[in-house]
Every structure is written in structure tokens, then in C-alpha cells.
Amino acid sequence: MSYKNPSTGHDDILKYWVGYEGAMRYVSGKVLTEEGFIDGHVGFEDGIVMEVAEGDIAGSEASGIVLPTLVNAHTHIADYLVPVDLSLSLEELVAPPDGLKHRMLHLVSEEELKKAFQAARSIMLRRGCSRFVDFREGGGKGAMALKKQRGWPKPFVMGRPLALRFDPEEVEAVLQHADGIGISSISDWDYGELSDLARFVHDKGRPFAIHASERVREDIDKVLDLRPSFVVHMTMARESDLEACAEQRVPIVSCPRSNCFFGGTSPLAKMLRAGATVALGTDNAMFTLPDMLAEMESAARLLRQQGVMDVSPVLSMANENGKKLLRERATIAMEPGEPCDFMVMRSHGGDPTTDLVLRGSSADPLMVCLGREEWRGGA
């Protein structure tokens, strides 16, 4: 049956199937393994990967570049419904509690919010993204609105209290629906209140994350004293700040396109040199579509500009490093016995890594396979 784009109601280029029980099926081409790309195939049956091996297979259902699906490590997808005002600064657009997005989200109906979620998730799915980490405003109600969404991609919800203060009862209510807590920044909060909040979340065994040094450089010692599971942005950070994150094994989520929109430059090369674990996110959907293929391209070009000739780390940023934030087993390859979690991208005839991170586009996903569910695309 046809897959309908929820933002338009029309049939999309993707198709959706469930079934094919009891028969081995194959995709082939340049297959990403732990040792790198091989000329090979992936055999799968009933939603489980059965084999990953060298050699083409006659009758493969899709052929191209075969790799695991992507993880969008930082989003605000509700912002999809906010019309961006290009005259406003970053703070005027997104800072709580009175930034444009917060005023708009306070006014929208539940149905409008649902449509925004559907539209943004459709964009992610059609570009091979299976999971995303969303900083969800609106307290417990806001977290619940996203968490109850069904289908792919799956949200990892980092909820947020309604006010910039620590209320144990409210945070408990948020955590009933959220996977963890994601806060704006130490600049927005009283540090004592924020410390109490972080301690409470850690005691619950949940992830706690925070935006850091996005608009201005913030005190990295204060940030890290909160024991964040990960930090987002670090655009204005010093090298010593990045080294501190690496030393304390705190991953950094970089959002190059969003930072560029506001005149900032993500110090990706310095992050890698510091030894930090770096993941990629698309940030606010009001001014940056949640398109991980576009984010990978931006990251790869930025690394080149910053003197890094090898763009292969971008694949890790978009896949295994994002999985680490989800507390999943972090691997960049498909393995027999695991549920299907891969995509097939059109090859442009070059090096597969270069094709993916520098020449991949929204028209290139030929197949996305997640468990026993599939989406087809391409012309």
C-alpha cells in the first residue's frame, strides 16, 4: 500500500510493506562492516539479518550502498510549525521562557502539534533516520504528546520542566513519559536549582543533558559538575573545554547547520582532536529540516575546511555515536541475528563514504528496513 506523507496527505515516493514471511531476501552492493565497506550482500528473513557476506546475489531487491540507519542526536521537532522570523537573534527565537518558539508552542492545539510531529518524522524516515533525541518542551504533557507517537523513527524524549526551577513533583511527572531530562543551558537557570534537578534525575537513573556554550562560552566546570550524559553544541567552547569533555567521557552533539544559521561555526575538528565522542543533530525544525543526510554533508565539508582530510568520522557521528546517547549497543555495522536496521542508498559510482557524506541527497534512499517494516523510495 502507499505511504502517505502526513504533511500533505498525498502518496509519497516511499512504499510500505509488512510481511514476506519465511523467505530469505537480499540487498547488495557496498556493504558497511566493522572492517569497512565490502562488495557484498545482506540476507534477511522475517525482520532478522541472517548473513552479511562478500559477493553479489542475483535477484537482490535493492542494490547500492548498504549501511545501518542514522540517529538524529538532537532535535526540537515541534518547532516545525513555528514560522521563523529572520530578524530575530538566537536568544529571541529559542531562549526560554519568552523566545518566539515558546510563545508559539504555548498557543498551538494538540492536533497542530501532532501534525508537526508527523511531518518532521516523515522527513527523517525518508532520509534513513530510525531514531531521534528530542528536547521536548511543555512539561509532562509535552513529553507525553511525543512519546505516544507510534511508528518510525522512534523518539528518545528528553523532557523539560515548564518553569526554570526545580520542582520534584513536576520532574517526576515529566519522567513518567520522558526517557530523560534535557535543559536549555546554565545561563538560563539558577545554578543551585539546576544542580538539584540534575541530582534528582541521576538518582532516578535517567539521562540528564544540557545545551552548552551555544551563544556564549559557559563555565565548563559548572556544566560538567552536573554530570551530564551529553552536552549539545559547544560552539563557543575553548579547546580546553572540549578536552575536559573528552577526559570525563561526556559526548558532544554538534549541529553544524543550525550553528551556521546564527553565524557560529561548530569546532568539529577540535572536538575530534580532543578525543571527544561527537554525534550529529539537526536542532530546531523551524529553520533546519531534520535531514541527517544534509547534516552529514555539512559536517564533512566543515571538517575539510578545518583541515581534516578524512571525512569517514562523519559516519560514526551519524550512527554509532548517536546510539551511545540512546544507551543502545553502539555499532556501525549490521550483524547476523540482529533485527533489520539498515538502509540502501543509491551509489553515485565513487568511494561509498564520499558518496554518502558529500553526495548523498534526499532522493538517494532506495530502501529503509526496520524489523519487518520497510519503506521504498527512489525513481
> 6 vs 71, which has greater pLDDT?
71
Reported as a pLDDT band with limits 50, 70 and 90, residue 98 is low
Q: Is 44 exposed, middle or buried (0-12, 13-18, 19+ CB in 10 A)?
A: buried
Question: For residues 162 and 174, is the Cβ–Cβ distance under 8 A?
Answer: no
- pLDDT one-digit tens code per residue, 21-33: 568 999 999 999 9
Reported as a pLDDT band with limits 50, 70 and 90, residue 377 is confident
% of the chain with per-residue pLDDT over 90: 77
Distance separating alpha carbons of residues 152 and 371, to the nearest angstrom = 11
Q: What is the CA radius of gyration of the chain?
A: 20
pLDDT (0 to 100) of residue 286 = 87
Cα–Cα nearest to 78, from 155, 150, 188, 5? 155
Cα–Cα nearest to 211, from 261, 170, 158, 163? 158
Beta bridge partner(s), residue 36: 33
pLDDT at 379 over 70: no
Distance separating alpha carbons of residues 142 and 138, to the nearest angstrom = 4
pLDDT (0 to 100) of residue 366 = 97
Buried b or exposed e, range 350-359, using 16+ CB within 10 angstroms: eebbebbbbb
Distance separating alpha carbons of residues 102 and 106, to the nearest angstrom = 6
pLDDT (0 to 100) of residue 100 = 67
pLDDT at 43 over 60: yes
Q: What is the pTM of this model?
A: 0.91
* H-helix or E-strand spanning residue 62: strand 62-68
Rounded to whole angstroms, what are the CA distances from 119 to 13, 15, 150?
Answer: 15, 16, 13
CB hemisphere CA count around 358 (13 angstroms): 18
Say how many C-beta atoms besides its own lie within 10 A of residue 262's C-beta. Answer: 15
Rounded to whole angstroms, what are the CA distances from 372 to 118, 342, 367?
Answer: 21, 12, 13
Distance separating alpha carbons of residues 265 and 233, to the nearest angstrom = 10
- pLDDT one-digit tens code per residue, 316-356: 999 999 999 998 877 778 999 999 999 999 999 999 999 99
- pLDDT one-digit tens code per residue, 285-308: 988 999 999 999 999 999 999 999
Cα–Cα nearest to 303, from 332, 270, 258, 278? 270
Distance separating alpha carbons of residues 352 and 335, to the nearest angstrom = 19
Q: What is the mean pLDDT of residues 59-67?
A: 95
Reported as a pLDDT band with limits 50, 70 and 90, residue 10 is very low
pLDDT (0 to 100) of residue 351 = 96
Question: For residues 353 and 309, is the Cβ–Cβ distance under 8 A?
Answer: no
Q: What is the mean pLDDT of residues 67-89?
A: 87
pLDDT at 99 over 90: no
- Beta carbons within 8 Å of 111's beta carbon, 6+ residues apart: none
- pLDDT one-digit tens code per residue, 132-190: 999 999 999 999 999 999 899 999 999 999 999 999 999 999 999 999 999 999 999 99
- pLDDT one-digit tens code per residue, 193-210: 999 999 999 999 999 999
pLDDT at 13 over 70: no
Distance separating alpha carbons of residues 186 and 143, to the nearest angstrom = 21
pLDDT (0 to 100) of residue 90 = 72
pLDDT (0 to 100) of residue 8 = 36
Buried b or exposed e, range 184-195, using 16+ CB within 10 angstroms: bbbbebeeeebb
DSSP 8-state code for residue 10:
S
- pLDDT one-digit tens code per residue, 228-246: 999 999 999 999 999 999 9
Cα–Cα nearest to 187, from 133, 221, 223, 163? 223
